[in-house]
Structure 1
Amino acid sequence: MKIETRLFIAGTPLFLLAAGVYALWTANTAQGWEPVGTLCILLVGAMVFMVGFYLMLTAKRIDERPEDTEHAEIADGAGDQGVFAPWSWWPLAIAGSAALAFLGLAVGWWILGIAIPFGIIALVGWVFEFSRGQHAH
């Protein structure tokens, strides 16, 4: 995770510099300084730093990966890569509820009344998928 951490941490000053350039650039326009865009770029820089900080903390907890060593072989990365659901229909239900929610924004707000309960049911089903049924543990 060293490379990912460095990439995100090094991206933070880039966004801070971009926010400063944007603030100066918009200050010289006829409308004057545009604070919303400057704030948004600063917030993107903060989010990039948070991701880098999270990756740095995660890298301290886990063993070194083959991607982090210069002399690693392809076979070093063989084996289990994690625990994943063998099959699940819940992501499709969540996508359907998200599509209904966006349709509600475009067509009518009343569709959100259908989409939100459907999305809550789908999310709860996905979260508790391994607590019941065939894959319960």
Structure 2
Amino acid sequence: MKAETWVFGATTAFFVLVTPIYWIATAYGGYLDGKGDWTGFTALAMTTLLCLMITVYLGFHARKMDARPEDSRDAEIADGAGELGFFPPYSWWPLWCSVCLGVMVFAVAMHAWWLFIIGAGFGVVALSGFVFEYYRGEHAH
């Protein structure tokens, strides 16, 4: 994870440099009447802090973990062989969850609470199927 730490560290350094430049450019750049752009500055400041948080997190875990093959300069492709993890097969449940959410959002926008209740009812069924799809059927384990 050392490579990821360096990537996010460079991104953090970039945003540390860009954020004050953006503030100065908007405050004294001849527009916005010298007030600056608080929305853009806040977004860049929060992005900087988010990148810093990820950098610190990855840095702490990189020191505690054993070196991975991709962290070594003299590693071979075969060093990374083996099981990589569990990758779920196809599933229709995310589609039905998103359809139910879309119906519920549409119902709120149209003030049709009866439609929201119908969407929530089907949404409970769809979400339950999505959560418990590996407990029964073909892909149970």
The structure with the largest alpha-carbon Rg is 2
Measured in 2, the distance between the counterparts of 1:65 and 1:9 equals 19
Match of 2:133 among 121, 125, 129: 129
Measured in 1, the distance between the counterparts of 2:121 and 2:21 equals 44
After superposition, residues 1-137 of structure 1 pair within 5 angstroms as 1-28=1-28, 29-31=30-32, 32-97=35-100, 99-100=102-103, 104=106, 108=110, 110=112, 113=116, 121-130=125-134, 132-134=135-137, 135-137=139-141
Measured in 2, the distance between the counterparts of 1:117 and 1:52 equals 42
Name structure 1 gaps, 5 residues minimum. none
**Bigger shift: 20-29 or 77-86?**
77-86
Deviations 1:56-80 (A, max 9, x none): 3443454321111001111111111
Name structure 2 gaps, 5 residues minimum. none
**Bigger shift: 75-84 or 59-68?**
59-68
Taking structure 1 as reference, are residues 128 and 48 closer, same or farther at Cα in structure 2, changes over 3 Å only?
farther
Deviations 1:94-137 (A, max 9, x none): 443455567x39x746498265665565444433434x214555
Give the TM-score, by structure 2 length. 0.72
Provide runs of 4+ in structure 1 moved above 6 Å: none
Deviations 1:32-56 (A, max 9, x none): 3111110100111111122223323
Measured in 2, the distance between the counterparts of 1:40 and 1:89 equals 36
Give the TM-score, by structure 1 length. 0.74
Taking structure 1 as reference, are residues 45 and 94 closer, same or farther at Cα in structure 2, changes over 3 Å only?
farther
